[in-house]
Amino acid sequence: MKLRPYQCEAVQSVYDHLRSRDDNPCVVIPTGGGKTPVIATICSDAVNLWGGRVVILAHVRELLEQAADKLRAIAPDVPLGIYSAGLKRKDLGYAVTIAGIQSIYQRACDLGPVDLVIVDEAHLIPPDGEGMYRQFIAEARVVNPHVRVIGLTATPYRMKTGTICSPDNILNEVCFEIGVRELIVQGYLAPLRTKAGSAKADTSDLHIRGGEFVAGEVEDLMDTDALVDAACAEIVEQTGDRSSVLIFCAGVRHGEHVARVLRERHGVECGFVCGETPAKERDELIARFRAGGEDGLRFLANVNVLTTGFDATNVDCVAMLRPTLSPGLYYQMVGRGFRPHPGKADCLVLDFGGNVLRHGPVDAIRVRTPDSGDGEAPAKECPQCAALIHAAYAACPECGHEFPDPDTQKHAATASGEGILSDQVSRWEERVSEVTYHIHRKRDDPTGEAPPTMRVEYRCGFNTYHREWVCIEHSEYARRKAEAWWRARSNEPVPETVEDAVDMAEMGALAETLRITVEKKAGEKWERVVDHELGDVPPRLESEEGLPALAPSTRTTTNDWDVPDDEIPF
């Protein structure tokens, strides 16, 4: 096997680092860019050129098998052992040992002295504490205090602590890095096209635990009939020319729901795999998905299974039906479509979880650290075609829509298109990408007697919001206007309280708002939403027992207009 030029450069960078420094290097190569041949080459050189011993650590069976296959191809003469409970092997005494970290982390001394520890998916090494990787490395250093560690990853950061390389960490510096865009240009990765799904969920009420959305709440949020039906319809519509569609779901119930809707309503077979799927069944489904063709499986949904280590080069569409705060998980999901394949022009990414806008494009992911603040992700959504693109584009590469000049926007306070006379009115129409509903209480009400209103927020494009207030609990004209607003959108009786109205809206009782007309009078501070283009009115919510399960409400009530939103190199 001949290495690609950048893989040769990566190997040489590792050797240069080990010769010239006393600490541990990290190599960053995108998913699909071929980390395993780099690992195999380093192992072959370590054994054949320098008489060293190596252990390769990985956390999933697929990565262990890939490493073994590549090492056999590159260096068939290297004695190779495997230590993995999942692969039913406990080999000791080999020049190279490929080991599952869960099986080997308390057995470093059993391996005897090793010179190199190579960690695949090195972003899993914790920055502190007594995790499995740290425990193994600490014991390996007892046997050989001069052991060196080499990390390889596509994502050199962790969700809460940022970059994995620092003077105090196991890995200290990135010695080589190549990006997604470079490999696409060089023809080693498939181009990507990204679109925002029109069916979205509001994640603002989700709790966060350990830096990620609470899993149960995410599933409850995403697993509603309205969202699943709309997302499945859009997936089928957008993938008519796609051969292999990989779907990431929020939970087992949600995944089964998605597979069922695709089968029953759209007549397409969709497999589903999760951690509980029997190994034989999972392997059969994956084999059919990889095979493609008439007897293959075109759609495959999964929950937390087909990310790291899963390799199906034919994937030409990735649909993310789950939001995540983890830039690593986001990257791993999208990365399933990176690999080129005969006949594959590009990979379409359908984002129903707001992940691209949250984290930025995969070649420019924003990694939040405790002191990084909450700046905007370097991505924006085209208001005309819903393509998700880098914020630097002046015109959408998909449809040609021209974005306003940022400098013009900065000076909008002093030079606007607003009428110069007090009676002049500016009106414009905007496409709505998301609608959320909130309880709103009046700020300047010392008695607390003013009735609350339902604040409806329309997100238009990337980060433009317009709002209107529906006076459900008011009387006379305000109430009659609220009733008319509700009846135009719902078959449900008009609720009596704002809280009931918001709950019903979140359950899917209201028609989708497609576009709004906004009006602003010269001299007035606020614009008003004066007209709406609505989708179909949804059917009745059948019964209380049949309602979709909802996460406990964490909705907050706001009171103002702002929304908190070395020769031997070792």
Local confidence pLDDT in tens for the 570 residues of the chain:
789 999 999 999 999 999 999 999 999 998 888 888 899 899 999 999 999 999 999 887 777 888 888 888 888 888 988 888 778 888 888 899 988 888 888 888 888 899 999 998 888 887 766 678 888 999 999 999 999 999 999 888 775 567 788 888 889 999 999 888 888 888 898 888 888 777 777 888 888 887 788 888 999 999 999 999 999 999 999 998 899 999 999 999 999 999 999 999 999 999 999 888 898 998 899 999 988 777 789 999 999 888 766 778 899 999 999 999 888 888 889 888 888 888 888 899 999 988 888 887 776 665 554 444 445 555 667 676 666 666 666 666 666 677 676 554 443 333 334 444 445 677 888 888 888 999 888 766 666 678 889 999 998 865 678 889 899 998 888 889 999 999 999 998 999 999 889 888 887 889 999 999 988 876 666 788 999 999 999 887 753 333 333 333 333 334 333 333 345 666
Q: What is the pLDDT of residue 224?
A: 92
User: What confidence score (pLDDT) does residue 411 get?
Assistant: 39
Report pLDDT for 107. 87
Task: Give the DSSP H or E segment for 321.
Answer: none
Looking only at the bridges linking them, the beta strands covering 453-460 and 464-470 are: antiparallel
Q: Scanning the structure block, which residue is given the tokens 């630097």?
A: 392
Q: What is the pLDDT of residue 113?
A: 92
Number of H helices, E strands in the chain: 16, 26
Contacts of 281 (CB under 8 A, 6+ apart): 273
pLDDT, position 560: 36
Q: If 0-12 CB within 10 Å is exposed, 13-18 middle and 19+ buried, where does residue 39 land? A: buried
Give the Å distances, CA to CA, from 23 to 122, 163, 175.
15, 16, 11
Q: What is the pLDDT of residues 275-314, one digit of tens each?
A: 888 989 988 999 999 887 777 899 999 998 887 667 788 9
Closest by CA position to 201, among listed 505, 564, 424, 444: 505
- Residue 498 DSSP symbol: H
CA dihedral 259, 261, 262, 264 (to 10 degrees): 110
* Dihedral angle, C-alpha 156, 157, 162, 168, nearest 10 °: -60
Asked if 203 contacts 323 with a C-beta cutoff of 8 angstroms, the reply is yes
- Tell me the C-alpha to C-alpha distance, in Å, between residue 465 and each of 284, 378, 432, 442, 568: 47, 18, 9, 20, 60
Would you state the pLDDT for residue 197? Answer: 78
Q: What is the pLDDT of residue 556?
A: 37
Block residue for tokens 């708002």: 513
C-alpha to C-alpha distance for 98 and 159, rounded to whole angstroms: 27
pLDDT for 255: 94
Ramachandran bin of 194, using left for φ above 0, alpha for ψ from -120 to 50, beta for the remaining angles? beta
pTM of the model: 0.61
